[in-house]
Structure 1
Amino acid sequence: MFRLNIPTPYVFMLRFLKAAQSDRKLENLSFYLIELCLVKYEALSFKASLLAASAIYVARCTLHMTPAWTPLLCKHAHYEESQLRACANMILKFQKVASTGPLMVTYEKYAHPEHSRVTEITPIEKLPQ
């Protein structure tokens, strides 16, 4: 018996976070950003792998980690930093309005200490050039 499933961003997120050599805060912020995408129609136009990679990229930028996109992440995700730009800008937009939207469940979930209170982190103004 075979079971074929379409991979979700979560599957890619686990792999890419290992390549990012992430800590708890980066993990929580990345998962927060990807969960914001789950309820947005606009996010459906991107591949699951690109959503996961872009969420990690936005999280690393938000936490001022340098470089924002490492060679190891590039190798494992198969995306160059330039390929992340459109999706990452969309995710950043979602992050900026998360506290004011009608669906506050994700925002409230990540405001708790067990999720490192990542909603309290101020989103960056714009992605690096």
Structure 2
Amino acid sequence: MLRFLKAAQLDKKHYQKLEHLAFYLIELCLVECEALKLKPSQLCASALYVARCTLQMTPAWTPLLLKHARYDVSQFRDCAEMILRFQKSARSGQLKVTYEKYMRSDLSGVAAIKPLVV
């Protein structure tokens, strides 16, 4: 994840929010059996993609991200949709510890960001 975030090439202000949101999304995957069947690199690429889309960063997937992640959007679209489902249910799910953790201001309160509407 850190390698992919570095490849995103953002200034410090935008980097921190993207980093927090991407890590929030990937942590949501840790307790989902469905996610554990996938490669960690695919989960990281998908979480970063969902985070960039959520924060309305354009382009959502850059040639440099493609080079470092070695995944095209078409290769992780299903995974990204799965992560988006996890994000949408995080607030109301039984396991709220990750949601509550990422509501903290030191983690940019990224859990409060509205999930994408697809």
Q: TM-score, normalised by structure 1?
A: 0.87
Q: CA deviation at 1:120?
A: 1.1
Relative to its length, the structure with more helix (as a share) is: 2
Q: CA RMSD in A?
A: 0.7
Residue number in structure 2 paired with 1:84: 76
Question: 2:37 and 2:104 mapped to 1: Cα distance?
Answer: 30
Question: 2:28 and 2:62 mapped to 1: Cα distance?
Answer: 24
Q: TM-score, normalised by structure 2?
A: 0.95
Residue number in structure 1 paired with 2:8: 20
Q: CA deviation at 1:81?
A: 1.1
Residue number in structure 2 paired with 1:75: 67
Give the alignment partner of residue 121 of structure 1, picking from 110, 113, 117. 113
Q: CA deviation at 1:21?
A: 1.9
Equivalent residue pairs, number:
114
Please state if 1:53 is matched with 2:34.
no
Task: Give 1 or 2 for the bigger CA radius of gyration.
Answer: 1
- Structure 1: state its 5+ residue gaps: 1-12
Question: 2:104 and 2:69 mapped to 1: Cα distance?
Answer: 30
Q: CA deviation at 1:58?
A: 0.2
Identity between Structure 1 and Structure 2 (%): 66
Residue number in structure 2 paired with 1:63: 55
Runs of 4+ in structure 1 off by over 2 angstroms are none
Q: CA deviation at 1:89?
A: 0.3
- Structure 2: state its 5+ residue gaps: none
Q: CA deviation at 1:64?
A: 0.6
